[in-house]
Amino acid sequence: MPPPPPDSLFPRPTNLGDQTHGHLRELILSRQIPGGAEVPEGRLAERLNVSRTPMREALVRLVGEGLLERTSERSYRVRIVSAREFFECMQMRELLECHAIGTAVPQIGDADLAELRRGLDSLEDGEDDMQHWLYDNHFHSFFARVSGNETLADTITRMRVVARLFRISSAFHRKREIDAEHRAVLEAAERRDAAAAKAAMLAHLRNLQDDARRAIAVEANPGGYFL
């Protein structure tokens, strides 16, 4: 069996524990189990039709990955990420992802760039959030992988998962703008202009934070006109 693609959030399951872990992770990141929701071990095992042992293994792994927290002996909750943690993560992503792309640009193969562009071109406005999230994940982990630093790639994935858990960051209502921002990064990479690629990546990450700030302000002041 070939190894799973290294950027996949849902690696190909190899046993029941891995399968259960992958399934649960997908349910959380696609928000079918929303932030703050209680996840009782027994009920979940019934819902996914698996026995308690692989379910327990999967739950413990997801606690370790920061997606769940334990609330009692047999119950878990999808972790709620605070605004503070979200912005801290985004600051880390600025440092890590700009470093990754700066290192990667001189090494990226033309075929890989072409594949990234095809993926971007195939995203359409009407597609669901999950497809945008999967492309976004592929896009952001791609440069870290090309840079050859696995720790960097793993850390970026972890930061992205935390950002995704923050309730406001997942809306993807700026699909068109986000596609344009990704395109700017890609065009700079295609010109092999590392400085421009870093600048475009930084602008993209700052725009995501500005958007979250606006959403927080609207939530705190619904109907307000002085934003």
Binding site for Zn ion (CB under 5 A): 136
Shortest gap between Cβ of 164 and Zn ion (angstroms)? 11
- Least separation, in Å, of the C-beta of 178 and Zn ion? 6
Q: In Å, what is the CA distance from 155 to each residue of 93, 110, 135, 168? A: 9, 26, 18, 21
Task: Tell me which H or E stretch contains 75.
Answer: strand 75-78
Task: Calculate the alpha carbon distances from 157 to 68, 89, 153, 163, 215 in Å.
Answer: 16, 11, 6, 10, 24
Of residues 28 and 156, the one with the C-beta less far from Zn ion? 156
* Cross-strand partners of 4: none
Shortest separation between residue 132's beta carbon and Zn ion, angstroms: 9
Minimal distance, residue 19 CB to Zn ion, in Å:
28
Nearer to Zn ion, 36 or 171 (CB): 171
Report the residue number, 63 or 172, with the smaller CB distance to Zn ion.
Answer: 172
Closest residue to Zn ion, based on beta-carbon distance: 136
Task: Give 103 or 141: the residue with its C-beta nearer to Zn ion.
Answer: 141
Tokens of 211: 């958007």
